[in-house]
A = this chain, B = another copy of it.
């Protein structure tokens, strides 16, 4: 076996709190594994559920000091900010409508934030949060985790270096099937809040996974989405939000695109797929087989670049842990976000510049752009598919 990377020196671990992610949640456990993998965080406090009893039980399960399990996030923010060794950062893994209030509570006290997407349930709120982040001087990381897959980093670097020439066409999609039936009426917690406008915001599928797709397309191409023409559908009777979305995209620099997001497409688990075509070459990637990047220079046979294998770009190698052919997956990508967040936070804590400039880690700007995207999509659909520009 081949050693892929040298062992880096171990810096100190950052004290982390978590809001949300208690029993029955999905993404909280993911954040915890991600935070643990590279040993850069130590989970020491939490308000793991809105239900105090469940919050405490969840904390016990995780071995948290009961004294640092909180019944509400405000108390947590207040007290942790005063503790000698209180948390330095908080991970926010609640339903969407709580992202903003929770983030505000911690940012106001100078605690760095790692927050799930979409940023907020309204653009107005997103912009207010952006101002607060700026004033706070805190690090704000938005967990658009797919951006941390090594081959996505490679794709971004290749586009940036001109391997594709000017981008012409972007095809992106995120297809699932788990909401093909009215699962939310069976007591399924994840389905419930994601289909509830009060907690999910104005969009269902397009907010939950469409924003991932849109973010990924922009991340890789370096372009922004300037306008959308949208057709939103709700196929499952009685559902309040969209469960399928068809979009036309206009991107900066004259590129055009399509985006399909669906939660009702049988046979699709997490079918996030990105294809980018430029004047000189094409790139294709699929999240379910994330180790491979297909690169097709015009007039040459397509090449399959494998993470850590021949042709790997330094931008991909840097976030690669093990040799080629031993698959890394979703958790590793998520862990990379946490590792990079740790670098930023530690630099901030130590009053120095991070090793590399901010780099590609998605943050508050991507969060605002995501909410602007959601609002434009909803507006376009409401207006019968008219092109609607994205606010900023």
Q: Contact residues of A with B, CB < 8 Å?
A: 1-4, 6-10, 12, 22-27, 29-30, 33, 36-39, 58, 60-63, 168-169, 171, 173, 176-178, 180-181, 188-190, 208, 229, 231, 233, 235, 244, 246, 248, 250, 256-258, 260, 262, 264-271, 275, 277-282, 284, 287-291, 294-306, 309-311, 321-332, 384-387
Contact = CB atoms under 8 A, between A and B. Distances in A.
Nearest to A8: B61
Contact of A248 (B9, B63, B246): B246
Contacts of A309: 269, 301
A194 to B, nearest CB: 8
A262 B169 contact: yes
B270 A326 contact: yes
A298 B329 contact: no
A328 B325 contact: no
A282 B258 contact: no
Contacts of A246: 248, 256-258
A106 to B, nearest CB: 23
Nearest to A230: B248
A392 B158 CA distance: 47
Central interface residue in A208, A244, A256, by most chain B CB within 10 Å = A256
Contacts of A332: 329, 331
A108 to B, nearest CB: 30
A169 B256 contact: no
A47 B383 CA distance: 53
Contact of A1 (B26, B235, B296, B321): B26
Contacts of A177: 282, 296, 298
Nearest to A328: B329
Contacts of A303: 300-304
Given A267-B282, A386-B385, A326 B330 contact: yes
A158 B248 CA distance: 30
Given A244-B168, A282-B266, A327 B25 contact: no
Choose among A284, A299, A325 the residue with the greatest number of B CB atoms under 10 Å from its CB. A325
Given A260-B171, A329-B326, A265 B282 contact: yes
Nearest to A260: B258
